[in-house]
Amino acid sequence: MNSCMISHATAAAEDAAREEWFANVQERRRKKETEAMAVEERRKEVIEMIKRQEEKERAQMAAHKKGPLETNPSSSERKGWWR
C-alpha cells in the first residue's frame, strides 16, 4: 500500500487491498517463473548457436590452412594487392 492509502483509506479498503495482493501472489510468482524459464531456454539456444558457429569457423580455418599449403603458386603466378 502506498502512503496515500495508509493515511486516507478505511480499514475495509485496506483489507480489500491486502486480499487482492495476496490473491495475486501465486499468479505473479508463476508469471515470474515462466519468464525465467523462457529466458533460460533462450540462453541455451544462444549457447548452442555460438558453439555451432565456432565449430563452423574452426572447420573453415582448418580447411583454409590446409588448402593454400597444398597449392602454393610460384612467385610469378601471384598477383600483388595493387593489380
Per-residue pLDDT of 27-51, as tens digits, reads: 999 999 999 999 999 999 999 999 9
Asked if 24 contacts 16 with a C-beta cutoff of 8 angstroms, the reply is no
> Residue-wise over 46-57: b if at least 16 C-beta within 10 A, else e?
eeeeeeeeeeee
Task: For 53-81, write each residue's pLDDT tens digit.
Answer: 999 999 999 888 876 555 555 555 666 66
- What is the number of residues in the chain? 83
CB-facing half-sphere around the CA of 24: CA atoms within 13 A: 7
Distances (CA, A) of 29 to 10, 26, 33, 36: 29, 5, 6, 11
